[in-house]
Structure 1
Amino acid sequence: MASQVFKNKTFSSVYHKYMIPISKETLNMVLSFVQGKRNGQPLEMAVDVGCGTGRYTIPLAPHFKKVLGIDFSKAQINLANQYNLLDNVSYMVAPAEKLPIENDSVDLLNAGLAAHFFRVDEFASEAVRVLKKKGCLAVHGLYPACDIEYKDLSHDLTVVMSEVWKILYQHADKSKDHLLCQYESIYEVIPLKDKQLITDIPVKFQMSFPEIIEFIQAVYMFQIFLEKDVKKAEQFLKQIEKRFQDILGENADSVRLNVNVKHYCVLARKD
Structure 2
Amino acid sequence: MELFVGSEHSDMYHKFRPTYPPEMYEFISEYSKSGTGTLDTAVDVGCGTGISTIPLCKYFQKVTGVDVSETQIKTARMVHKQSNVSFFISRAEQMEFLSDCSVDLVTVAQTMHWLEMEPFYKEVIRILKPRGSIVIYGYGNGTLNKSEGNLVIEKFFNHDLEEFWDSRSRHADNFYQNMYLPFSGWERKSDFFIQNKWSANEVVGYLSTWSSCRKYLKKNPKSGRLDEIQQQLIDIYNGQKITITWPMVVFVGRKNTQAEENINNVF
Distance 1:70 1:175 in 2: 20
**Which of 75, 78, 83 does residue 71 from structure 2 map onto?**
75
Kept in 1: contact 2:20–2:194 (CA 8 A) = no
Structure 2 residue 91 is the aligned partner of structure 1 residue 95: yes
Shift of 1:95: 0.2
Shift of 1:208: 1.2
Structure 2 residue 49 is the aligned partner of structure 1 residue 64: no
The TM-score with structure 2 as length reference comes to 0.89
Aligned to 1:163: 155
Aligned to 2:251: 266
Q: Secondary structure at the match of 2:204?
A: helix
Aligned to 1:173: 166
Shift of 1:28: 3.2
**Structure 1 residues 5 and 169: CA distance shift in structure 2, 3 A:** same
**Which of 198, 202, 209 does residue 193 from structure 2 map onto?**
202
Aligned to 1:185: 178
1:102-131 CA deviation, whole Å, 9 max, x = no partner? 111110001111111111111111111111
Aligned to 1:242: 231
Identity of aligned residues (%): 26
Distance 1:42 1:32 in 2: 10
**Which of 120, 123, 128 does residue 126 from structure 1 map onto?**
123
Q: Say which structure is richer in helix.
A: 1
Q: State the one-letter code of the partner of 1:74.
A: E
Structure 2 residue 13 is the aligned partner of structure 1 residue 15: yes
Distance 1:184 1:36 in 2: 27
The number of equivalent residue pairs is 254
Q: State the one-letter code of the partner of 2:144.
A: I
Aligned to 1:6: 4
Distance 1:80 1:22 in 2: 17
Deviates more, 1:62-71 or 1:160-169: 160-169
Structure 2 residue 106 is the aligned partner of structure 1 residue 114: no
Kept in 2: contact 1:141–1:183 (CA 8 A) = no
Structure 1: gaps spanning 5 or more residues:
none
Structure 2: gaps spanning 5 or more residues:
257-267
Q: State the one-letter code of the partner of 2:157.
A: W
What is the RMSD computed on CA atoms of the aligned residues?
1.7
Kept in 2: contact 1:23–1:263 (CA 8 A) = no
